[in-house]
Amino acid sequence: MKLFLLHGPNLNLLSIREPEVYGSITLDEINQHMLHVGIQHDVEIIPFQTNHEGEMIEMIHHAHEEADGIIINPGAWTHYNYAIRDALASINTPTVEVHISNIYQRESFRHQSVIAPVVIGQISGMGWYGYELALLALLHHLRTQR
């Protein structure tokens, strides 16, 4: 089984950007942890981060042919990016949306997710551990749907 682990804009700055909100863990540390958890569950994890909308859309399109599921932290794209929303809706690949911070406890513009209606679930506010929870939830979904 193969899962894409997609990170949106500014997540490459984890540990630098607002550590009081996002913590001190780096994106590389999250990816390494997820690779390890993937091995424990016999799943190949393909991590990818971009600050460019078109690159993210291309990876989502690739997931249609290459991945069994997606874990995505769309970052700021969560709140307004209909192109990424439409890409996810178009491919019908089970996807879980992740946010390190609780977007519903933050500024009001962050309370809306245009991504949430086209994914199987959302995990928000559990810190970096939300990625592992997303993996477990996605695996449960995939294994019960077969």
* Residue 28, domain extent: 2-68+83-145
Q: At 34, which CATH number?
A: 3.40.50.9100
| Model pLDDT for residues 40-72, shown as the tens digit of each residue | 999 999 999 999 999 999 999 999 999 999 999
Query: Structure tokens of 106?
Result: 């933050």
Cβ count near 70 (within 10 Å)? 25
The pTM for the full model equals 0.92
Is 74 within a domain?
no
Catalytic residue IDs: 22, 99
12 found inside a domain: yes
pLDDT, tens digit, 9 for 90 and up, residues 105-138: 666 766 689 999 999 999 999 899 999 999 999 9
Q: How many domains does the chain have?
A: 1
In a domain, 76, yes or no: no
In the structure, what pLDDT confidence band is assigned to residue 79 with cuts at 50, 70 and 90? confident
The verdict on residue 61 lying in a domain is: yes
Residue 77 lies inside a defined structural domain of this protein: no
Give the span between the Cα atoms of 92 and 106, in whole angstroms.
Answer: 30
Number of other residues whose CB lies within 10 A of the CB of residue 146? 5
Closest to 61 in 3D by CA, of 43, 81, 78, 86: 86
Residue 78 lies in a domain: no
